[in-house]
Structure 1
Amino acid sequence: MATMQHARRHDRWSLDLARPDALEPVIARIDPSTDLGARYDGTLQRLLDVDLEPLLDGFRVKPGAQPWIGEHIGKWLDAAALVVEATGDARLQAKLDLAVRELVATQEPDGYLGTYVPAQRFGWYPDAEWDAWVHKYCLIGLLSYHRVTGDPDALAAARRVGDLLVATFGGPDGRDIIPTGWHQGMASTSVIGPLVWLYRATGDGRYAGLVREIVDAWDRPGGPRVLSTLLDTGRVSEVGNGKAYEMLSNILGLAELALVDSDPRYLEAATRAWQDVVDHHLYLTGTASFGEHFHQPGELPDSASVHMGETCVTVTWLQLTRRLFLATGDARYADEVERTLLNHLSGAQTPDGSAWCYYSPLAGRRDYGSGISCCISSGPRGMALASDSVFARTPDGSELVVSLYQSADAEIELGGRPVHVALRTTLPDAHGATLAFDLDGEAEFAVRLRRPSWATGDIAAGGADDDGWIVVAPRRYSRGDELRIDIGAGIRVVSGDGWNAGRVALAWGPLVLSYVAEGEEPAVFDVLEQPPAAVSRHEALPWSVANALAPRGRRRAAVLPFARSGVSSATSRVWIAAAAPEIELSVFHGAEELRGSGDLAKGSIADYDPWSFASSEDDSPRRDAWFGLRSARPVTFRRVSFAHGRSMVHGGWFDASEGAPRIEALLTPDAEWTEIARIAAYPATDAAHDAGIAAGERFDVLLDEPVTAWGVRVAGTASFGDYPGPRRFATCALLCAYAD
């Protein structure tokens, strides 16, 4: 294990805080033999493998290859600094030092550290609308590096950036920052977070002053009204245009501002936003938003076709949750750190750390990549936080806090002495954990152990319950002393409500489980046949899901932790039906699925599950969306069943204002699609209104006479909901045909 240089983070930023944190994070080395530890080590290797040249080219030769190319080097620097601080890896340290020197060498005399030409800076220009956003990430990278190393050149470069931002946007004559960035200015105004860091690193009040001016600017015409909306309504779906990544970045900035400004509104707004996400927008695996936006409260579609679980959102959600945990010491934040780290963030990463997903659906397939994208750059920043999510301590060192049950070691000053703390556990595979102490002499301190909501049994002998914690009273510890912790982890059935009413999910301890289809045929996920007697997170769990696919019998599906279920190309799903329905097999059973746009592997219309749906959009002048099935041989049918997928704030239904959706048949393999009927019972929808059509609502159409065809499809005009514009789409949960 590498020697840890610093037991706590932020030691170098000694500015007195208006609202000191309740807890200090402690760096730990997670056991690399564990799943999380292996992923952390994979993150280190990923950072070593990244080619920095494409990330720096846009700073050297302007303009860069893409408008936001400049964000990637800052994200890499931040992740690398965190990992170097935790591991002391000399290879990564050398690469980090070089990257900072190369970046700082591109800074212009006025402090500009972006990728745009002089005529297109800090404004709204074609392909040049992310300048403040890029400077935000450069500040984050430089300040993370300075915090870890104390390097004065990095801090000087960050100050020059801050001075430029003050000169550009500060004071009564400053430029309005709102029109300089996307999403009603939320992209550009998210610079407030690192500006608070810069104030903490320097004590220069101009930077904090600019942050307050930017917060006030949110209420200008066209602004996102972040603070005022959260204080008025507490609803993230009503902030700006609902763009989740940029909005959470601003809310994280408010939580940072609360450290240095005693105004209670900042922390209140951040905590209200956090609670709203937990109550109305959080997926079971610990991510939020679909289509990269917050929509109506309770809308939680989970297929790949709706682009849910953006990794940038997952990471920023984790950062916000950790910030609030340190600020308050509240166990509910630690619960959500665990949920996100072990489930959605891990599920977005391949186990070896080499690739990341942009989106990680709960139903469908995951697409991993290792190129340059915002999410692939963000992922390592999130996983790097695992090292200081196991332990924390009170600022005076009188109490050790254990908030994540993972085998790990740390050097921590407790009771005035350096103490080696070793947490050993096989959770969630088996019961219990041991907390061992090694030190010279004796030290007196208390121990606070998180009581997970999934735990069974007593957490520790002699401890007292305290609002999500078990507190072991202060006592004197010496070398060899141990605390034995009994934490049972068993199977849990999670009953869905709201969007997931009528469905269930499984979990084992903190791990959300996922059903993984075996074989080549489309999967029909149904219900558990029997509960397991034992479980391993490393292999397929010893039970299966009943799948009534064909008259010849049942086909089985493996059950894996969500974090591991997406590595293969198989379809997987978290939520399944609560009871086994009688499945009437379509004459197109096993047929090829088609739609007007996209990849139907991301949401099925032929798996007999009304909760699984696909989307189709079309930007052609006709704006037709369609869903079809094509057989390898002609089949005869007289009844067609279509089920609506989901209505969302930005569309999802057929616009029937000029005619009900059409049922069409492929009468010969090479023919054009031919209309054979209309869904006459379809509601009187239009492009903006769904007329109350219900999720999964089914429409059966009986044809005048049997039709023999190679395919069947439903087609019609798509809708746009509350967002008129070129993007229109429809959804389909089910398309079947029957002989009767």
Structure 2
Amino acid sequence: MKHVITIMLYLSAQFICAQTAVEQTVHDKLSPAVSAKINRYVGEKFNASYENRILAQDVHTLVHPFTVRDEYRCWQSEFWGKWFTSAVLAYRYNPTPILADKLKEAVEELITTQTPDGYIGNYAPESRLGAWDIWGRKYCLLGLIAYYDLTKDPVALEAAAKQADCLIRELAEKNVKIVRMGNHRGMAASSVLEPICQLYVRTGDKKYLDFAEEIVREWETPDGPQLISKADIPVGKRFPKPERNNWYGWEQGQKAYEMMSCYEGLLELYRLTGKEDYKKAAGQTWQSIMDTELNIAGSGSAMEAWFSGKGLQTTPIEHYQETCVTVTWLKFNQQLLRLTGEAKYADAIEQTFYNALLGSMRPDGSDWAKYTPLYGQRLKGSEQCGMGLNCCNASGPRGLFSIPLTAVMTAEKGIYINFYMDGSYELMTPAKRTVTLLQKTDYPLSGQIDIQLNLQKEEKMDISLRIPSWSEKSTVTVNGSLVENVVPGEYIILSRTWKNNDKISIEFEMRGKIHTMYTNPTYTAITRGPIVLARDERLKGAALEAILTPVTNENKYIDLTLNDHSDAGIWMVFGAKFIPESYAEYGAEPVETELCDYASAGNAIAAYPFFKVWMPQLYDPRK
């Protein structure tokens, strides 16, 4: 019987959508692809994480704390849900019997720990609701609901409902506000809003919608994080900075990961209610993060909190760019992209994915860095809570596997191509026919992408191509005919009757761009397309500590020459000309120095090479 269930799961997973009991007020503009198969470098990263992190995880280790239930302050209970939701995304990308068995085992083993009152967690009875207890319950809910969506197993949904009922009942019986529970002005605990909204959609039980609205009401009380009323305040300045010894306590209202998790839940509630204030607050917060926190690699935070860090990114920063923050920023953008179909969210995802996210993953996919600086080393994170892994090991693949089925998505009038990755994508057309879209490209190594449509029958629809904001000059052709009005930072909508084997060709401008931070001293960094480039002590050229000024051409770009460095396990290496510091009056001649992609910089299996993104420039008192 187990074998039969596994095969059914294996065959059907890619075609299952969430079974809903209520109609949402607001529908997403974009829906995931039916399936995807991605090749080349990015495909190898998916495969590495699948084999060496997802399948390698011992399920019993994750479930064990739920059988002990003696905790009072730690967060062991989040690891099951983080790994499990990662594994469900991985399974949707690559459904195999071995992962189906692992998912089934993980759910069944977790459900056996549920107490008669519905509790699934690792906290002692007298410590329930405190510290990270509700946070851990949230991750259990997310995992159980994800499994229900995948399999339609009613036992998983029933267990999730009992878990939610237990939480609602305990809060009422103890007459406490959820925003006073746990850490970070209640953001950790009240981020349970996301699965509570999901549970309402799948059960139709209005008590979950009522609870969701109560959570948001409590946000706006003096005790709450005021995530709506303070949405127009920069995320790093919403509350006074807590004392050093209470940095991770209740007073910390700038905790980045938890804050964005709450906004993910608020967007789920917006879909249910249509209340524009919810969407507006999420959008304002997104813009604040972009304007005041996000660094050149597409992430941020220090000591896991927002700190107005955008302008400080050239300095060495303690506990910089936590991977959990990177993943949640990416997921927040995925929510907004699905909801709105706006190109700026896809641009942000691409920046984060190729740089901060891939940079936090070890080359073989087995491990994820806890913090990833822009200068220094990518060091291994320590394990947490006696679990043999840490939060970022468990969370990293959640960001990674959110990409495949959102690279190409469907909309009411056709197809959106968000990300350019060599592979095949199966989708449904507006007429409900299957279409396979093939991308042939080595992007972002080059800017050339060739797309072919395999259609069952010719059909009139839109195909929307994202034109990245960094590509100032882009060329698009359809069956050899040039497309006009291609605008950076927007989708170009190709509306026509499409036929089998129609072809689209795209060429993006992949020039080396100089970015300058006018601090003291001034710093420069270099990007090429979506890729941040970095110096690495393994590469040829001047010493890492040398002061180098980029040599620019007549158009103020830096010329980059692709060099082969595959033997060092580095994805991209470019040679470029720089003027070194000189003590001679007439200056120095240019020297060639190599740079590599940020994700590869300092990222090695057996060593921790030093690297840097931002390069200090000589101070010139004449300027």
Same fold (TM over 0.5): yes
Note the C-alpha offset of 1:73: 0.3
Residue correspondence of structure 1 range 566-645 to structure 2 within 5 A? 566-568=602-604, 569-578=608-617
Measure, in 2, the Cα distance between the counterparts of 1:549 and 1:148. 63
Is 1:309 aligned with 2:321?
yes
> Which 5+ residue runs of structure 1 have no aligned equivalent?
124-128, 583-740
> Residues 30 and 408 of structure 1 are in contact (CA less than 8 Å); yes or no, is this contact kept in structure 2?
yes
Partner residue, 2:491: 469
What amino acid is the match of 2:55?
L
SS class of match (1:543): strand
SS class of match (2:32): strand
> Residues 13 and 95 of structure 2 are in contact (CA less than 8 Å); yes or no, is this contact kept in structure 1?
no
1:37 to 19, 23, 43: 43
CA 579–471 in structure 1, closer or farther in 2 if over 3 Å, else same: farther
Note the C-alpha offset of 1:332: 0.5
Partner residue, 1:55: 62
Note the C-alpha offset of 1:579: 5.0
Partner residue, 2:575: 542
Partner residue, 1:737: none
Measure, in 2, the Cα distance between the counterparts of 1:414 and 1:501. 54
Measure, in 1, the Cα distance between the counterparts of 2:46 and 2:289. 27
Note the C-alpha offset of 1:442: 2.4
Partner residue, 1:491: 512
Computing the radius of gyration over CA atoms, which structure comes out larger, 1 or 2? 1
Is 1:414 aligned with 2:450?
no
SS class of match (1:523): coil
Measure, in 1, the Cα distance between the counterparts of 2:484 and 2:12. 32
Residue correspondence of structure 1 range 522-561 to structure 2 within 5 A? 523-528=545-550, 531-535=558-562, 538-543=571-576, 558-561=594-597
> Which 5+ residue runs of structure 2 have no aligned equivalent?
1-8, 240-251, 553-557, 564-569
Note the C-alpha offset of 1:71: 0.2
CA RMSD of aligned residues (A): 2.9
Note the C-alpha offset of 1:496: 2.6
Note the C-alpha offset of 1:6: 5.9
CA 7–465 in structure 1, closer or farther in 2 if over 3 Å, else same: farther
CA 459–66 in structure 1, closer or farther in 2 if over 3 Å, else same: farther
CA 89–490 in structure 1, closer or farther in 2 if over 3 Å, else same: farther
Partner residue, 1:719: none
Partner residue, 2:165: 163
Note the C-alpha offset of 1:357: 0.6
What amino acid is the match of 2:20?
W
RCO (CA 8 Å, sep 6+): is it higher in 1 or 2?
2
Residue correspondence of structure 1 range 444-455 to structure 2 within 5 A? 444-455=460-471
What amino acid is the match of 2:439?
L
> Residues 10 and 100 of structure 2 are in contact (CA less than 8 Å); yes or no, is this contact kept in structure 1?
no
Is 1:293 aligned with 2:305?
yes
CA 282–8 in structure 1, closer or farther in 2 if over 3 Å, else same: farther
> Residues 301 and 308 of structure 1 are in contact (CA less than 8 Å); yes or no, is this contact kept in structure 2?
no
Measure, in 2, the Cα distance between the counterparts of 1:555 and 1:424. 36
Measure, in 2, the Cα distance between the counterparts of 1:115 and 1:517. 45
> Residues 522 and 619 of structure 2 are in contact (CA less than 8 Å); yes or no, is this contact kept in structure 1?
no
What amino acid is the match of 1:238?
R
What amino acid is the match of 1:80?
A
> Residues 311 and 348 of structure 1 are in contact (CA less than 8 Å); yes or no, is this contact kept in structure 2?
yes
> Residues 290 and 308 of structure 1 are in contact (CA less than 8 Å); yes or no, is this contact kept in structure 2?
yes
1:195-233 CA-to-partner distances (Å, cap 9, x unmatched) read 111111212111111111111112334322222211x53
Note the C-alpha offset of 1:175: 2.4
Measure, in 2, the Cα distance between the counterparts of 1:208 and 1:297. 36
CA 555–440 in structure 1, closer or farther in 2 if over 3 Å, else same: closer
1:312-353 CA-to-partner distances (Å, cap 9, x unmatched) read 111111111110111111111110010111110000001321
CA 566–518 in structure 1, closer or farther in 2 if over 3 Å, else same: closer
What amino acid is the match of 2:362?
T
> Residues 40 and 383 of structure 1 are in contact (CA less than 8 Å); yes or no, is this contact kept in structure 2?
yes
Note the C-alpha offset of 1:501: 7.7
Name the stretch that deviates more: 328-337 or 194-203. 194-203
Partner residue, 2:208: 207
SS class of match (1:133): helix
Note the C-alpha offset of 1:259: 0.8
Measure, in 2, the Cα distance between the counterparts of 1:539 and 1:236. 34
1:372 to 369, 372, 389: 389
What amino acid is the match of 1:573?
K
Identity %: 29
Partner residue, 2:347: 335
> Residues 523 and 547 of structure 1 are in contact (CA less than 8 Å); yes or no, is this contact kept in structure 2?
no
Is 1:508 aligned with 2:528?
yes
Note the C-alpha offset of 1:169: 2.7
> Residues 19 and 259 of structure 1 are in contact (CA less than 8 Å); yes or no, is this contact kept in structure 2?
yes
CA 337–372 in structure 1, closer or farther in 2 if over 3 Å, else same: same
Partner residue, 2:26: 19
TM-score, length-scaled by structure 2: 0.85
TM-score, length-scaled by structure 1: 0.72
1:74-124 CA-to-partner distances (Å, cap 9, x unmatched) read 01110001111111122111111101110111011111000012122113x
Measure, in 1, the Cα distance between the counterparts of 2:188 and 2:506. 45
Name the stretch that deviates more: 411-420 or 539-548. 539-548
Note the C-alpha offset of 1:490: 2.1
1:389-421 CA-to-partner distances (Å, cap 9, x unmatched) read 311111x3x211001111121111113211111
Measure, in 2, the Cα distance between the counterparts of 1:61 and 1:122. 17
> Whose strand proportion is higher, 1 or 2?
1
Measure, in 1, the Cα distance between the counterparts of 2:378 and 2:309. 25
Partner residue, 1:389: 406
Measure, in 1, the Cα distance between the counterparts of 2:10 and 2:583. 58
1:400 to 399, 410, 415: 415
Is 1:83 aligned with 2:123?
no
> Whose helix proportion is higher, 1 or 2?
2
Residue correspondence of structure 1 range 22-171 to structure 2 within 5 A? 22-34=29-41, 36-45=42-51, 46-64=53-71, 67-123=74-130, 129-169=131-171
Is 1:564 aligned with 2:604?
no
SS class of match (1:184): coil
Note the C-alpha offset of 1:145: 1.4
Measure, in 2, the Cα distance between the counterparts of 1:8 and 1:361. 40
CA 476–323 in structure 1, closer or farther in 2 if over 3 Å, else same: same
Is 1:458 aligned with 2:475?
yes
Partner residue, 1:252: 264
SS class of match (1:53): helix
SS class of match (1:146): helix
